[in-house]
Amino acid sequence: MTVTFARLTESRDLDGILALDALCFYRPWTRADYERELADPARCFLYVARDTEAQIVAYCSFWRIFDEVHVNNFAVHPAWRRQGLGRTLLTHVLAEAAAIGAPRATLEVRASNVPAIALYEAGGFVRVGRRPGYYTHPIEDALILWHEPAGASAASPPGRS
């Protein structure tokens, strides 16, 4: 597996993201959604993994909110799954987030998405809650996961005690 990671900052690469979304999500974001993200680089971050032919094979988008990040989307091309790319991208993204002063992370994941849950838990995320009916098409609960920096308590994310 040979890939490179980079922060996406220009909309000219969105075709690769949109194609990957179409493969991976029930209701993918639109080009306009991603363009709004890219227009706010202080808050919105989009990291991509490219193969040796410069094709986007995985990505992660997140918002920086003070000292934490909220992962919005995370996708790995089906042909690249179960090869360690998701784990490597997640590790890269968490390190980049910590480097900009946001060592904590949270996300929601479909309760039925067992492979994604396993990836996030292997990456140090912990289940802390459930959002009933959070997803549509189909309607499904979301699990809320948190990741804390080493030495912090993941059982008590900000605002909880």
Give the tokens for residue 47.
């990291």
Give the separation between CA 78 and CA 82, rounded to whole angstroms.
Answer: 9
Residue with tokens 């996961």: 145
3 state DSSP class of 15: helix
3 state DSSP class of 158: coil
For the stretch 25-71, pLDDT in tens is 888 999 999 999 999 999 999 999 999 999 999 999 999 999 999 99
Q: Which helix (H) or strand (E) holds 91?
A: helix 85-99
Structure confidence at residue 153 (pLDDT) = 55
| This prediction's pTM | 0.89
C-alpha atoms less than 13 angstroms from C-alpha of 145 in its C-beta half-sphere: 22
Residue with tokens 């998405």: 113
Structural domains in the chain, sorted by start:
4-147 (3.40.630.30)
Give the tokens for residue 145.
């996961």
